[in-house]
Amino acid sequence: MKQITFKSLWASLCLASPLFFAQSAQAAGKLTVYCTVQNNVCEAMTKKFAQQYNVETQFIHGGTGTILGRIKAEKDNPQADIWYGGTIEPHFQAGQLGLLEAYRSPKQAEILPQFKALMESEKGQFTSIVYMLVLGFGVNSEKLQKLGIDAPKKWADLLDPRLKGEVQLPDPRSSGTTYTIMATLIQLWGEDKAFEYLKQLDKNVSQYVKSTLVTANLSRGESTATVGFVHGYATEKEKGAPVEAVLPQDGVGYALGGVSLIKGGRNLDNAKLFMDWVLSKEAQEIPWREYGVYQIPTNVNAEVARQSVKLDGVKLVELDYDRFGSSQEGKRLVDKWLSEVKLAK
């Protein structure tokens, strides 16, 4: 099954007026972006960058696990210059494997204070933080009403036998979301209890799908509950879907979105310019201002959308990035999930 879609966005020649070049940065050439945010946001961000900096820009869209696998496979002949988006642990894993180009963007200085220490560590030499996502439950309120079930409030509530066949999750082999779920539960309970929970939850899971389908299927009523990043549920609710987000009372996980330069990329200077730009206040506000994508900006100067989850009083589960950002640990946990949860009968 094809997992990566390709779309090219070239800077429009009609913009090539003297006034445009006078206002744009002094850049030229090409750029290829591996993009792991919503497809329409990939399209918008690469198009705006192309127009602003006179750089012919194309992107290839795919899930976090899919893109990491592609970068590994292309180690000796990289086909892209920069990786934008996706949960940060696989970015850290790519850095550990020697797949990334070292670059500390000057815009790291504008990171939210709670993430300064992480960016000042060795990991920040290869990867910068571009947004924050909050993990929670998504429910279809109409389906819950038909089933006579209250919305889940705690992780254990998803094990309700009445939800058998009504839960969908992303597949961690192609998506970073379920890896974040695993990391969150391990931090909460320890690995043994976390995997016992995942085995029990599997009884209620109808299928593990691409991350892009999880929220869409929930909106269409093809599932009743899921676990994912809550900004996606807010977007679907705005579109009129009967979708609600719930933050689990016993611990809320989160993910950071990464941006990294790919080692051996052909357009290093433009990749650095793109990284600097997506870390800026202006660029980080584009997804929510123009496309209703309510990820939380991590530039301290950026405005946060009113639709974004408010973190005051939320019990966030702190993640061990040394552990979960390890390539060896990431592979071990995904392999363990596959053998003990997905394929176990």
Is the CB of residue 238 less than 8 Å from the CB of residue 197? no
Domain assignment of residue 224, yes or no:
yes
Say which range, 82-91, 98-107, 312-321, has the weakest mean pLDDT: 312-321
- Whole domain around residue 35: which residue ranges? 30-132+256-306
Domain assignment of residue 168, yes or no:
yes
pLDDT tier at 27, thresholds 50, 70, 90? low
Q: Is the pLDDT of residue 328 over 50?
A: yes
Long-range contacts of 331-339 (CB under 8 A, 24+ apart): 333/179, 333/182, 333/183, 334/65, 334/172, 334/173, 334/179, 336/195, 337/172, 337/178, 337/182, 337/195, 337/198, 338/173
pLDDT digits (tens, 9 = 90+) for 204-238: 999 998 877 899 999 999 999 999 999 999 999 99
Q: What is the mean pLDDT of residues 85-89?
A: 94
Same domain, 70 and 152: no
Domain assignment of residue 231, yes or no:
yes
The confidence score (pLDDT) of residue 211 equals 79
Q: Could you tell me which of 211, 212, 220 has the C-alpha nearest to residue 240?
A: 220
Same domain, 180 and 72: no
Number of domains comprising the chain? 2
Same domain, 56 and 85: yes
Same domain, 210 and 337: yes
Cα–Cα distance between 341 and 223 in angstroms, integer?
A: 20
pLDDT tier at 35, thresholds 50, 70, 90? very high
CA 144 to chain centre: 27
Same domain, 128 and 196: no
- The DSSP string of 132-179 is EEEEEEEEEHHHHHHHT-PPP-SGGGGG-GGGTT-EEEE-TTT-SHHH
Cα–Cα distance between 120 and 141 in angstroms, integer?
A: 43
The confidence score (pLDDT) of residue 96 equals 95
Domain assignment of residue 23, yes or no:
no
On average, the pLDDT of the chain sits at 90
Q: What is the mean pLDDT of residues 107-130?
A: 96
Residue 150's domain is classified under what CATH number? 3.40.190.10
Cα–Cα distance between 81 and 59 in angstroms, integer?
A: 10
Same domain, 146 and 168: yes
Domain assignment of residue 260, yes or no:
yes
Domain assignment of residue 323, yes or no:
no
Same domain, 103 and 128: yes
Cα–Cα distance between 128 and 272 in angstroms, integer?
A: 11
Q: What is the mean pLDDT of residues 48-69?
A: 95
Same domain, 197 and 269: no
Same domain, 39 and 72: yes
Same domain, 38 and 49: yes
The confidence score (pLDDT) of residue 344 equals 83
Q: What is the mean pLDDT of residues 162-169?
A: 96
Q: 248 is written with which tokens? A: 């689990």
Same domain, 120 and 139: no
Q: Could you tell me which of 62, 132, 124 has the C-alpha nearest to residue 95?
A: 124
Q: Is the pLDDT of residue 49 over 50?
A: yes
Q: What is the mean pLDDT of residues 97-105?
A: 97
Same domain, 118 and 266: yes
